[in-house]
Amino acid sequence: MMRKIIHIDMDAFYASVEQLDNPELQGKAIAVGGSSKRGVVSAASYEARKYGVKSAMSSVIATRNCPHLIFVKPRFERYREISKRIRSIFLEYTDLVEPLSLDEAYLDVTENKKGLPSATLIAKEIREKIKAKTGLNASAGISINKFIAKVASDYNKPNGQKTVSPEEVESFLEDLEIRKFHGVGKVTAEKMYRLGIFTGSDLKAKTREELGKHFGKNGPYYYDVVRGIHRAEVKPNRIRKSLGAERTFNENISSEVFMLERLENIAEEIERRLKTSKVAGKTITLKIKYSDFTLQTRSKTIAYYIADKHLILENAKELLYQERMKNSVRLLGISLSNLNTEKDKTAFKKEEIIVQLKFEF
């Protein structure tokens, strides 16, 4: 079924908030998270991105790329506060809002509260309201399904938007570089290159059987999306599957006493997030990253739901002592999964939508 879908993506959200709140950082290369010595970049300003700094990059590499990079500690409470204000703008237009994170969401505006016929104009109006109410820029993608809208939102970043109307879908996807297909990462792209797949047109030339042979269960997905087929609905009642926190240390630690101190701090943070989300979990996972960057996870499932920091810490300690450490540790994390989320525990009321056959994009 053809819909009008908007994907809103805030531009360098965390970094932009820091620059907004601190004028001295405006126009400068900044990275949120990590430090010049350790850690990982959570977000980078556009000034930093010019030097190749990007999210999930180690702080050491980021500093090497951009020696004048300024590191800023993340303030998630502030980011959540602004995210709520942005989401309230979305809800002025539709209840069919599916948040993906604090800085991006899908909106189904096939039928909208304003009765506006053009999804393009709705996206423009939303971006203008976000700017007026928060001082931040947002980009948008508009099309007939979530996949194309997501791809389109990156097209004119920052502070732009791209509409792919129904009649443009085929040519848009055929001309698209394979790396720009949402869901195609670096490893998959390299595999596609070896198969002679560089653009959507190359991908479209492959049969469903060929793609299934080379990409397994993802094969049919690639076969469909390059033809503009993506049936996933905008779901305002997305159910959280896990919740966790982790810390990267300024110096490697090998003492279990110091590890327990860090785990206690992490357990406190998780308790706060669980209470905010009003959930609890049964499966505890301890994440350990060693000084040689090898990663290890240890998990256990208990018979009852927990959300208390003391119980979380007690189970994390048991996992920590499960076997000896093979090296000093640079990162520890705890997550809870198997949550008691219920399908009727929704953030927004979902209303039935009527699909129009004639679209004005």
Per-residue pLDDT reduced to its tens digit, 13-26: 999 999 999 999 99
Closest by Cα among 153, 151, 130 to 141: 153
Which of 104, 125, 246, 256 does the annotation list as catalytic? 104
Report the share of the chain in percent with pLDDT over 70.
93
Q: What is the mean pLDDT of residues 67-84?
A: 93
DSSP state of 240: P
Where exactly are the structural domains of the chain? 14-72, 242-339
Closest by CA position to 44, among listed 72, 24, 64? 72
| Tens of pLDDT, residues 336-357 | 999 987 543 333 333 322 223 3
Q: Is 210 a catalytic residue?
A: no
Fold of 14-72: MutS, DNA mismatch repair protein, domain I (3.40.1170)
How much is the pLDDT for 123? 98
Instruction: Compute the distance between CA of residue 235 and CA of residue 172 in angstroms, rounded to an integer.
Output: 26
> Can you give the pLDDT at residue 351?
30
| Euclidean distance between CA atoms 86 and 134, whole angstroms | 8
Residue 32's DSSP bridge partners are 43, 72
**What CATH number labels 242-339?**
3.30.1490.100
Tokens 């969401």 locate to: 105
Give the global pTM: 0.74
Query: At 287, which helix (H) or strand (E)?
Result: strand 281-290
- The rounded distance, in Å, linking the Cα atoms of 35 and 62 is 10
323 confidence band (pLDDT: 50, 70, 90) = confident
Residue 299 has pLDDT above 80, yes or no: yes
In this prediction, residues 128-133 reach a mean pLDDT of 97
Predicted confidence (pLDDT) at residue 249 exceeds the cutoff of 70 = yes
Task: Give whole-number Cα distances, 242 to 8, 82, 105, 328, in Å.
Answer: 24, 23, 19, 27
CB 162 within 8 A of CB 181: no
* Cα–Cα distance list, 244 to 208, 250, 263, 334 (Å): 38, 20, 12, 6
pLDDT value at residue 361: 59
pLDDT digits (tens, 9 = 90+) for 166-221: 999 999 999 999 999 988 988 999 999 999 999 999 999 999 999 999 999 999 99
Distance CA 124, CA 118 (A): 10
Question: In residues, how long is the chain?
Answer: 361
CA distance 285 to 246: 11
Please provide residue 321's backbone torsions phi and psi, each rounded to the nearest 5 degrees. -85, 0
- Amino acid sitting at position 307: A
Comparing 126-135, 145-154, 253-262, 264-273, which segment has the lowest mean pLDDT?
253-262
Contacts of 64 (CB under 8 A, 6+ apart): none
The chain-wide mean pLDDT, for the chain, equals 89
User: What's the rounded mean pLDDT across residues 138-158?
Assistant: 95
Tell me the average pLDDT across 63-85. 93
What's the token pair of residue 33? Answer: 């998270």
Burial (Cβ within 10 Å: 0-12, 13-18, ≥19) of residue 1: exposed
110 band by pLDDT with thresholds 50, 70 and 90: very high
How many Cα atoms sit within 13 Å of 241 on the Cβ side? Answer: 1
Helix 13-21 to helix 76-90 angle, to the nearest 10 degrees? 110
pLDDT at 275: 87
